Chain A
Amino acid sequence: DTGVSQDPRHKITKRGQNVTFRCDPISEHNRLYWYRQTLGQGPEFLTYFQNEAQLEKSRLLSDRFSAERPKGSFSTLEIQRTEQGDSAMYLCASSLGGQHYEQYFGPGTRLTVT
């Protein structure tokens, strides 16, 4: 068990550019979650997958954001036409199941939009 991994760990981009982040969950976990954390705040839910199906999206997830989990393994989160307000830590987590199962978090990808 190598834990949840995320790539890259840091990304600096210019406003208007597209960025893509990758998350590799713990291998036997069928649920995968994306959160966003801004400075001084707790993480906020963005979206989650059960296997390859995206089951819920937060209102925070504007149409510039898209997430995929092909084949129910790794996931990608893409942000198109980045804005300065997108600067945040993007966290990925995975779990074995629903409400009662703890989520295991990756180290996060810190995005800075200049």
Chain B
Amino acid sequence: AQSVTQLDSHVSVSEGTPVLLRCNYSSSYSPSLFWYVQHPNKGLQLLLKYTSAATLVKGINGFEAEFKKSETSFHLTKPSAHMSDAAEYFCVVSELRRQLTFGSGTQLTVLP
């Protein structure tokens, strides 16, 4: 069975400093992994996806994530946070069952 654990429910960073949102997954098969972002009162938006090609995945708005099979991790990073990055971020896994399994989310706060 597939599952996702987001290790931090809240992360707070200062504008211009790096962002790290941590995610560990469990999957019996070769999974696809995604990061989605949800801004208040807006729909979920895909940031990036991993589907067994390059292990370092680049997404929109300067975000990237690295798939590490040995650590079963898929952490999301950004070199420099912007105020507009404040939102809830979800790590998501998908395997043969096709539907997405979401983590519980990490609320990112960006301080001025």
Contact = CB atoms under 8 A, between A and B. Distances in A.
A42 B98 contact: no
A41 B43 contact: no
Interface in B40-96: 42-46, 49, 51, 90, 92, 94-96
A48 B98 contact: yes
B32 A41 contact: no
Contacts of A103: 46, 100
Contacts, number: 57
Interface residues of A, number: 25
Of A4, A42, A48, A93, chain B has the most CB atoms within 10 Å of the CB of A42
Contacts of A98: 98
B102 A44 contact: yes
Interface of B: 32, 34, 36, 42-46, 49, 51, 90, 92, 94-105
Interface of A: 4, 31, 33, 35, 40-45, 48, 56, 58, 91, 93, 98-100, 102-108
